[in-house]
Amino acid sequence: MTLLPLLVILASTPPAGDVPRAGYFGAGINLEPLSLGPAQAFGGGGAAIGVSFQTALQVDVGPRWAFRLPLELGGGGSGNNTFAELGLTPGVLHRWRDDADQEWVPYLGGGFKLGVAVANRELLGLPLITQALDIHLHHHHSGSSSDPNNEGRLGAFPEVWGGVEWHPSRWFALNLGGAYTYVRLAGTSVHLLHERVGLRFSL
């Protein structure tokens, strides 16, 4: 039932006709060298706020559909509520675009983030692991020590995107977007939200 409104919108969208791909030459090659904004992580033990950086390549496969490949680094927190992530997210998106000079273009899409996510056990709502301090081992193995209260996972995490592009010209745009990522860490759910503003240059 949740997909019904989206299907109705897609079905009612008029055909693209002679609308070219995005960009100054209509080539549909779009580069976002830098997008940044706040990021939030929500777990069973609370929330953490940080910052997210992203660079992305987007290639049109038609007037409205595009393949998107963003590379993202994010993290932050305060106290023991900390998180970090690094990932590459191949995916597709649909843009409600009916004119080559359309100024505001909303979009919706998603993919799977391939990367690593780390969060502290306190953020996950799990009991902290106490670790006895051994002075002798600390001096001889300090380079291999790690925090046992950090839980990490390497994998593929589902992610959805939504936002709007502002095009003052065909070759330049601002991407005002948000993303939601779902991650499972140590048997618990972590919800990641990102709000970013990015510069886009299109050919």
pLDDT for 14: 47
Instruction: Encode burial over 144-182: b for 16+ CB neighbours within 10 A, e otherwise.
Output: eeeeebbbeeeeebebebebebebeebeebbbbbebebe
Contact by Cβ (8 Å): 48, 77 = yes
Q: What is the domain range of residue 110?
A: 31-120+152-202
In a domain, 38, yes or no: yes
Instruction: Report the predicted TM-score, pTM, of the whole model to 2 decimal places.
Output: 0.82
In a domain, 198, yes or no: yes
In a domain, 159, yes or no: yes
In a domain, 95, yes or no: yes
Number of domains making up the chain? 1
In a domain, 130, yes or no: no
- As a whole number, the mean pLDDT across the chain is 87
pLDDT for 1: 45
pLDDT for 17: 55
Q: DSSP states of 116-135 as a string?
A: EEEEEHHHHT-PPPP----H
pLDDT tens profile 118-155: 999 999 999 988 754 444 444 445 454 578 889 999 99
In a domain, 185, yes or no: yes
pLDDT tens profile 24-82: 788 899 999 999 999 999 999 999 999 999 999 999 999 999 999 999 999 999 878 99
In a domain, 13, yes or no: no
pLDDT tens profile 73-98: 999 998 789 999 999 999 999 999 99
In a domain, 174, yes or no: yes
Q: What is the CATH number of the domain that holds 93?
A: 2.40.160.20
* pLDDT band (50, 70, 90) for residue 15: low
Task: For residue 71, count CB atoms less than 10 angstroms from its CB and return exposed for 0-12, middle for 13-18, buried for 19 or more.
Answer: middle
